[in-house]
Amino acid sequence: MSIRALLALVAVSFLSVGCATVPMTGRSQLALVPEADMVTAASQNYEDFLGSVTVSTDPAANSLVSRIGERVAASAEKFLIDLDMAADLRFYDWRFTVVDDDETVNAFCMPGGKIVVYTGIIPVAENENQLAVVIGHEVAHALARHSSERMSQILLAELGGMALSRAIQEKPRETQGWMMLAYGMGAQLGVILPYSRTHEKEADRIGLILMAQAGYDPRAAVPFWTRMGEMGGARPPEFLSTHPEPSSRIEEINGHMPEALRYYEASGK
């Protein structure tokens, strides 16, 4: 492929890329990868992952996570229906798995609603409301299709890198090296990391609303994320981190609290 054709392909990708809208926030997002393909791949990856870890058999932990997860997932589905996005329900098959690993303080989601909670994070969440903060945050990532958007960003950055590589192939090797390095740093610092922080902040906001509508007190988010921030130890500057700096995260959560409390009060809990 000629450099002109490759650059044209990059331009067409920008112009013709599928655009989706994040429920609740209304933000337009990159959608190069069909959600159905992401869900299919995630289902296989999820099964592979479960085969590589010890799934908890603790009835109390599984009951707790499942109870919260089902309520928050029902809240997410209600939002899709209320937003006339009921057709998107076909992408979700909610599953909530507890992994027996007390050393790992973490939870994550995969496309299609596959949520994993490690036993290490359960005692950090001091009550059911605080664990709902965790699960609401992960359900929010799934609802907002952040994995698909991240994959689209990486694909587009790689395509741009290919175009740049072809454009500078006649330049000295040393020049090619630093130009590609500069491009890589620019893509990472200018696109991928900022979008990761956007995703985290967006999941915080959406998660607050989902848990509140499900009847969990969103005010539990402040002590939970404060405690998580205190556990983090040394961390890179925010502009080099995929997660927001703890104090700015708490500030944004407090800013969204009035909105979340309206949903909580309407839930009647």
Catalytic residues: 138
Is residue 105 within 8 A of residue 231, CB to CB? The reply is yes
Distance (Å) of CA 112 to CA 1, 42, 94, 166, 194 = 36, 7, 7, 37, 24
Is residue 42 within 8 A of residue 112, CB to CB? The reply is yes
Dihedral over alpha carbons 83, 16, 154, 149 (to 10 degrees): 0
Which two tokens mark 194? 């900022």
- What is the distance between the alpha carbons of residues 125 and 220, in angstroms, rounded to a whole number? 9
Is residue 244 within 8 A of residue 201, CB to CB? The reply is yes
Is residue 68 within 8 A of residue 131, CB to CB? The reply is yes
In this structure, the number of other CB atoms found within 10 A of the CB of residue 85 comes to: 14
- What is the distance between the alpha carbons of residues 264 and 250, in angstroms, rounded to a whole number? 19
Which two tokens mark 21? 């809208």
